Amino acid sequence: MVNVAVIGASGYGGGELLRWLSCHPEARVRVATSRTYAGRPVSDSFPGLTGLLDLSFSPGADAVDLEGCDVVFLARDNGWAMKAASEFLLHVPRLIDLSADFRFRDVSVYARWYSDHAAPSLAAEAVYGLPELHRDAIRTARVVGNPGCYTTASILALAPLVASGLVDTSTLIVDAKSGVSGAGRSKFALDYHFAEANESVTAYRVAGTHRHTPEIEQELSALAGAEVRVTFTPHLVPMTRGILATCYASLVEQRDAEGLRALYRDFYAGHPFVQVRDGLPSTKHVVGSNMCHIGLGVDERVRRVTVVSAVDNLGKGMATQAIQNMNLMLGLDETSGLRIPGMWP
Amino acid sequence: MVNVAVIGASGYGGGELLRWLSCHPEARVRVATSRTYAGRPVSDSFPGLTGLLDLSFSPGADAVDLEGCDVVFLARDNGWAMKAASEFLLHVPRLIDLSADFRFRDVSVYARWYSDHAAPSLAAEAVYGLPELHRDAIRTARVVGNPGCYTTASILALAPLVASGLVDTSTLIVDAKSGVSGAGRSKFALDYHFAEANESVTAYRVAGTHRHTPEIEQELSALAGAEVRVTFTPHLVPMTRGILATCYASLVEQRDAEGLRALYRDFYAGHPFVQVRDGLPSTKHVVGSNMCHIGLGVDERVRRVTVVSAVDNLGKGMATQAIQNMNLMLGLDETSGLRIPGMWP
Amino acid sequence: MVNVAVIGASGYGGGELLRWLSCHPEARVRVATSRTYAGRPVSDSFPGLTGLLDLSFSPGADAVDLEGCDVVFLARDNGWAMKAASEFLLHVPRLIDLSADFRFRDVSVYARWYSDHAAPSLAAEAVYGLPELHRDAIRTARVVGNPGCYTTASILALAPLVASGLVDTSTLIVDAKSGVSGAGRSKFALDYHFAEANESVTAYRVAGTHRHTPEIEQELSALAGAEVRVTFTPHLVPMTRGILATCYASLVEQRDAEGLRALYRDFYAGHPFVQVRDGLPSTKHVVGSNMCHIGLGVDERVRRVTVVSAVDNLGKGMATQAIQNMNLMLGLDETSGLRIPGMWP
Amino acid sequence: MVNVAVIGASGYGGGELLRWLSCHPEARVRVATSRTYAGRPVSDSFPGLTGLLDLSFSPGADAVDLEGCDVVFLARDNGWAMKAASEFLLHVPRLIDLSADFRFRDVSVYARWYSDHAAPSLAAEAVYGLPELHRDAIRTARVVGNPGCYTTASILALAPLVASGLVDTSTLIVDAKSGVSGAGRSKFALDYHFAEANESVTAYRVAGTHRHTPEIEQELSALAGAEVRVTFTPHLVPMTRGILATCYASLVEQRDAEGLRALYRDFYAGHPFVQVRDGLPSTKHVVGSNMCHIGLGVDERVRRVTVVSAVDNLGKGMATQAIQNMNLMLGLDETSGLRIPGMWP
CATH number, domain at C64? 3.40.50.720
In a domain, D78, yes or no: yes
CB pairs under 8 A between B and D: 58
CB within 8 Å of D330: residues ≥ 6 apart: D2, D70, D71, D94
All partners of chain A with 3 or more CB pairs under 8 angstroms: B, C, D
- Choose among C12, C240, C285: nearest Cβ to B48: C285
Q: How far apart are CA B51 and CA C38, in angstroms?
A: 40
Three-state DSSP at B70 gives: coil
Across the interface, whether the CB atoms of B208 and A305 are under 8 A apart is answered: no
Q: Give the gap in angstroms from C-alpha B265 to the nearest C-alpha of chain A.
A: 20
Q: Are residues D286 and D322 in the same domain?
A: no
Q: How far apart are CA A299 and CA A281, in angstroms?
A: 18
Query: In what order do the strands lie in the sheet containing C27-33?
Result: C27-33, C2-7, C71-74, C95-97, C143-145, C127-128
Residues of chain A with C-beta less than 8 angstroms from the C-beta of C199: 240
* Full 3-state SS string of chain D: CEEEEEECCCCHHHHHHHHHHCCCCCEEEEEEECCCCCCCEHHHHCHHHCCCCCCECECCCCHHHHCCCCEEEECCCCCCHHHHHHHHHHHCCCEEECCCCCCCCCHHHHHHHCCCCCCHHHHHHCEECCHHHHHHHHHCCCEEECCCHHHHHHHHHHHHHHHHCCEEEEEEEEEEEECHHHHCCCCCCHHHEHHHHCCCCEECCCCCCCCCHHHHHHHHHHHHCCCCCCEEEEEECCCCCCEEEEEEEEECCCCCHHHHHHHHHHHCCCCCCEEECCCCCEHHHCCCCCCEEEEEEEECCCCEEEEEEEECCCCCCCHHHHHHHHHHHCCCCCCCCCCCCCCCC
Please determine, for residue B303, whether its predicted confidence score (pLDDT) is greater than 80: yes
Q: Convert the pLDDT of each residue in A182-231 to its tens digit.
A: 999 987 789 999 999 999 999 999 887 889 999 999 999 999 999 999 99
Q: Mean pLDDT across the stretch B6-11? A: 97
pTM: 0.97
The pLDDT of residue D182 is 93
Please determine, for residue C209, whether its predicted confidence score (pLDDT) is greater than 90: no
In a domain, A168, yes or no: yes
Let me know: does A2 contact A69? Beta carbons within 8 Å: no
Q: Determine the Cα angle at D116 with ends D113 and D118, to 5°.
A: 130
Q: Which of C35, B297, D170, C193 is nearest to A180 (CA)?
A: C193
In a domain, C340, yes or no: no
Q: Convert the pLDDT of each residue in D286-336 to its tens digit.
A: 999 999 999 999 999 999 999 999 999 999 999 999 999 999 999 999 999
- Choose among D199, D280, D295: nearest Cβ to C240: D199
CB pairs under 8 A between B and C: 92
Q: Are residues C11 and C139 in the same domain?
A: yes
Q: Mean pLDDT across the stretch A242-271? A: 98
Q: Are residues D213 and D82 in the same domain?
A: no
CB within 8 Å of D200: residues ≥ 6 apart: C239, C242, C282, C283, C284, C285, C287, D236, D238
The pLDDT of residue C290 is 98
Please determine, for residue D44, whether its predicted confidence score (pLDDT) is greater than 80: yes
Q: Mean pLDDT across the stretch C256-260? A: 97
Q: How confident is the model at residue C63 (pLDDT cuts 50, 70, 90)?
A: confident
| ipTM confidence | 0.96
Q: How far apart are CA A281 and CA A266, in angstroms?
A: 19
Looking at the structure of chain C, the number of domains it has is 2
Let me know: does B256 contact B301? Beta carbons within 8 Å: no
Q: Hey, how many other C-beta atoms are within 10 angstroms of the C-beta on D23?
A: 17
In a domain, A302, yes or no: yes
- Choose among C48, C240, C340: nearest Cβ to B285: C48
Q: Convert the pLDDT of each residue in B243-256 to its tens digit.
A: 999 999 999 999 99
Q: Convert the pLDDT of each residue in C273-312 to its tens digit.
A: 999 999 999 999 999 999 999 999 999 999 999 999 999 9
CB within 8 Å of A279: residues ≥ 6 apart: A295, D47
- Give the chain B residue whose CA is nearest to the CA of D237: B194
Q: Which one of C23, C69, C149, C247 is the catalytic residue?
A: C149
Across the interface, whether the CB atoms of D180 and B199 are under 8 A apart is answered: no
Q: Are residues C74 and C165 in the same domain?
A: no
Least confident piece of the model among B308-317, C71-80, C152-161, D59-68 = D59-68
Residues of chain C with C-beta less than 8 angstroms from the C-beta of B273: 51
The pLDDT of residue C207 is 82
Q: Are residues A256 and A173 in the same domain?
A: yes
Q: Convert the pLDDT of each residue in B44-65 to its tens digit.
A: 999 999 999 999 999 988 888 9
Across the interface, whether the CB atoms of C12 and B339 are under 8 A apart is answered: no
Query: In what order do the strands lie in the sheet containing A2-7?
Result: A27-33, A2-7, A71-74, A95-97, A143-145, A127-128
Residues of chain A with C-beta less than 8 angstroms from the C-beta of D240: 345
Q: Mean pLDDT across the stretch B149-168? A: 98
Q: Are residues B242 and B169 in the same domain?
A: yes
- Choose among B235, B244, B306: nearest Cβ to A207: B306
The pLDDT of residue A320 is 98
Let me know: does D94 contact D142? Beta carbons within 8 Å: yes
In a domain, B162, yes or no: yes
Mean pLDDT, chain D, as a whole number? 96
Q: How far apart are CA A130 and CA A149, in angstroms?
A: 11
- Choose among A231, A284, A285: nearest Cβ to B306: A231
Q: Mean pLDDT across the stretch B267-278? A: 98
- Choose among A202, A244, A248: nearest Cβ to B282: A202
Q: How far apart are CA C126 and CA C122, in angstroms?
A: 6
Q: Are residues C115 and C48 in the same domain?
A: yes
Residues of chain B with C-beta less than 8 angstroms from the C-beta of A287: 199-200
Mean pLDDT, chain C, as a whole number? 96
Q: Mean pLDDT across the stretch D251-274? A: 97
Q: Which residues of D touch B (CB under 8 A)?
A: 12, 179-181, 183, 185, 188, 190, 192-195, 197-199, 238-241
Q: Convert the pLDDT of each residue in D54-111 to its tens digit.
A: 999 999 888 889 999 999 999 999 999 999 999 999 999 999 999 999 999 999 999 9
Residue ranges of E strands in chain A: 2-7, 27-33, 71-74, 95-97, 127-128, 143-145, 167-178, 202-203, 231-236, 243-251, 274-276, 292-299, 304-311
Q: Which of C268, C274, C270, C154 is nearest to C220 (CA)?
A: C154
The pLDDT of residue C218 is 98
The pLDDT of residue B236 is 97
Q: Are residues C201 and C277 in the same domain?
A: yes
- Give the chain D residue whose CA is nearest to the CA of A291: D48
Q: Are residues D115 and D238 in the same domain?
A: no
Q: Please say if D149 is a catalytic residue.
A: yes
Q: Give the gap in angstroms from C-alpha A30 to the nearest C-alpha of chain B.
A: 33
The pLDDT of residue A187 is 74
Most C CBs within 10 Å, among A181, A194, A201, A239, to test the C interface: A194
Q: What is the CATH number of the domain that holds A269?
A: 3.30.360.10
Q: Which of A27, A14, A23, A147 is nearest to A73 (CA)?
A: A14
Q: How far apart are CA A160 and CA C6, in angstroms?
A: 58
Let me know: does D173 contact D230? Beta carbons within 8 Å: yes
In a domain, A327, yes or no: no
Q: Give the gap in angstroms from C-alpha A299 to the nearest C-alpha of chain B.
A: 4
Q: How confident is the model at residue C313 (pLDDT cuts 50, 70, 90)?
A: very high
Domain, as residue range, for D155: 150-311
Q: How far apart are CA A322 and CA A244, in angstroms?
A: 20
Q: Give the gap in angstroms from C-alpha D39 to the nearest C-alpha of chain C.
A: 34
Most A CBs within 10 Å, among C185, C188, C193, to test the A interface: C193
Question: C143 vs C126, C215, D62, CA distance in Å?
Answer: 5, 17, 77
Residues of chain D with C-beta less than 8 angstroms from the C-beta of B34: none
- Give the chain C residue whose CA is nearest to the CA of B274: C51
Q: Are residues D282 and D205 in the same domain?
A: yes
Q: Which one of D23, D69, D149, D247 is the catalytic residue?
A: D149
H or E element at residue C203: strand C202-203
Q: Are residues B118 and B14 in the same domain?
A: yes
- Choose among B185, B188, B240: nearest Cβ to D198: B240
Residues of chain C with C-beta less than 8 angstroms from the C-beta of A188: 188, 190, 193
Residues of chain A with C-beta less than 8 angstroms from the C-beta of D12: 345
Three-state DSSP at A275 gives: strand
- Give the chain B residue whose CA is nearest to the CA of D180: B195
Residues of chain B with C-beta less than 8 angstroms from the C-beta of C238: none
- Give the chain B residue whose CA is nearest to the CA of A302: B229
Determine whether A284 is exposed, middle or buried from the number of CB atoms within 10 Å of its CB (0-12, 13-18, 19+). Answer: buried
Residues of chain B with C-beta less than 8 angstroms from the C-beta of C344: 15, 19, 46, 48
Across the interface, whether the CB atoms of C202 and D244 are under 8 A apart is answered: yes
Q: Give the gap in angstroms from C-alpha D107 to the nearest C-alpha of chain A.
A: 33
Instruction: State which amino acid sits at residue D173.
Output: I
Across the interface, whether the CB atoms of C302 and D170 are under 8 A apart is answered: yes
In a domain, A135, yes or no: no
Q: Which one of B23, B69, B149, B292 is the catalytic residue?
A: B149
Please determine, for residue D208, whether its predicted confidence score (pLDDT) is greater than 80: no
The pLDDT of residue D187 is 75
Across the interface, whether the CB atoms of B12 and C343 are under 8 A apart is answered: no
Q: How far apart are CA A327 and CA D55, in angstroms?
A: 27
The pLDDT of residue A299 is 94
Determine whether C312 is exposed, middle or buried from the number of CB atoms within 10 Å of its CB (0-12, 13-18, 19+). Answer: buried
Q: How far apart are CA A142 and CA B341, in angstroms?
A: 57
Please determine, for residue A330, whether its predicted confidence score (pLDDT) is greater than 80: yes
In a domain, A133, yes or no: no
Q: Are residues D156 and D300 in the same domain?
A: yes
Most B CBs within 10 Å, among A168, A172, A193, A206, to test the B interface: A206
